[in-house]
A and B are shown apart, each in its own frame.
Chain A
């Protein structure tokens, strides 16, 4: 069963629109939503959570409509936004009381355990926390009610590599349970590469690619060649190219690379950058 199922999602704003987006988050999988700033990642997440109202299309969470039946599945969703949304005048202990009242499955022990693990003081004002501490607190709250689906919107952006690595470890631990799924958006592709099973590229409100990460590695390669050699490859097999004075670099479908041109494994970030540049 898909944790999230999006079909033909549309939402228009004055100068931007999400256009006919279809995307699944399969149960037990991690889907990484990649895109440059303003690509529509946060908008998609807000539409999933019904914080923005869709104009057409359907969104189902655990098989239930995200507008009419969202309240019945909220217990199973943990959400982390890019900014800490907690009242800055409160402390983590206060939050525990509030969430205990909000969630039926709230687990005090798990929450306290996460606070200790993340070295977060229970009685210090959230307002005095660093960005990394606030993010860890948000993740602790999202994980302490035994959610089956985590939705993270740019949760690792603006954090130092050590904290980002800590967060990735936590997510890997969460996903070790087969019932758990994650939808994580980021423009830091290297983070997503570490944990995602599927990668979804968004650009200007459109889904450019949605593929299993391993298949991306299998299907695409990077080549370095001359401009003439590049032109000899079928244009539809070239995903993106960069031609300079010293030759050309391109990402192409593996099966279409001539034997005399050496190919290298693709990395997701390069694929994303080339795809975006090719489309503009």
Chain B
């Protein structure tokens, strides 16, 4: 597994520095410094966080599952590295990288909290777990497709699923937003202990990841090069 990690890290080090800086730091920090000027609410910060973490997850997906062109994976399979190890390490790295992006993406929310009501760990955990939930859902859906059909197909599916979710949310809020019953149910959900909601979301994330990992392993075991 170490060789797979090393390859990814060494390849990442060759990426244009501005791109990594932009993705990791410039966007979130820029928003942090403009929280007052933008007069945003926590919900707006959450939307920005969602966009940032999505970009991060997409970047991470392309980085770890986009190596078919050079035949590196084919070659790696002739070394003592096993198919299982390749998939495990790619999942691990994608997860670690995505979580780092998500943590950075919560920064604007933290800054806004500090400047307004004060830092609330429970609120932050809720935002973090919600962003993680969205990203893990996207990735666990997309990675097995990338493994089976290649990174281009995976990326297209990623974008399609994201657009579908986004459209679904917009349409649902337009249609159901004025429905009193739904609004009161949503209100009730918001007032549920955020620790419980966060724990539930993170548990679902773990289950989704494990299922996705098992599917990808099964696909990769039969993959021909």
What is the interface of chain A, defined by CB distance below 8 A to chain B? 46, 49-53, 71, 74-75, 77, 79, 81, 83-90, 94, 97-99, 101-104, 151
Contact = CB atoms under 8 A, between A and B. Distances in A.
Given A98-B7, A102-B3, A52 B80 contact: no
Contacts of A102: 2-3, 76, 79-81
Interface of B: 2-3, 6-7, 10-11, 14, 67, 70-72, 74-82, 222, 224-225
Given A90-B14, A102-B3, A49 B70 contact: no
A62 to B, nearest CB: 14
B223 to A, nearest CB: 9
Given A51-B224, A101-B2, A87 B67 contact: yes
B74 A51 contact: yes
A75 B198 CA distance: 46
Q: Which DSSP category, helix, strand, loop or mixed, fits chain A's interface?
A: loop
Nearest to B10: A94
Contacts of B74: 51, 81, 85
A9 to B, nearest CB: 15
Contacts of A90: 7, 10-11, 14
B72 A87 contact: yes
A125 to B, nearest CB: 8
Given A86-B72, A87-B72, A97 B10 contact: yes
A83 B71 contact: yes
A71 B71 CA distance: 19
A88 B70 contact: yes
Contacts of B14: 89-90
A52 B79 CA distance: 16
B12 to A, nearest CB: 10
Contacts of A98: 3, 6-7, 10
A50 B78 CA distance: 9
26 contacts: A49-B78, A51-B78, A51-B224, A71-B80, A74-B78, A75-B80, A77-B78, A79-B75, A79-B78, A81-B75, A84-B70, A85-B74, A86-B70, A86-B75, A87-B67, A89-B14, A90-B7, A90-B10, A98-B10, A99-B3, A101-B3, A101-B6, A102-B2, A102-B79, A102-B81, A151-B78
Nearest to B79: A102
Query: Lowest 7 A-B CB distances belong to which pairs?
Result: A85-B75, A85-B71, A102-B3, A101-B3, A101-B2, A79-B78, A51-B225
Given A51-B225, A98-B10, A74 B75 contact: no
B7 A74 contact: no
A151 B81 CA distance: 17
Contacts of A99: 3, 79
A17 to B, nearest CB: 15
A53 B223 CA distance: 9
A74 B80 contact: yes
Given A83-B71, A86-B70, A87-B70, A104 B80 contact: yes
Nearest to A11: B224
Contacts of A94: 10
Contacts of A97: 6, 10
A148 to B, nearest CB: 14
Contacts of B79: 74, 99, 102-103
Nearest to B7: A98
Contacts of B67: 87
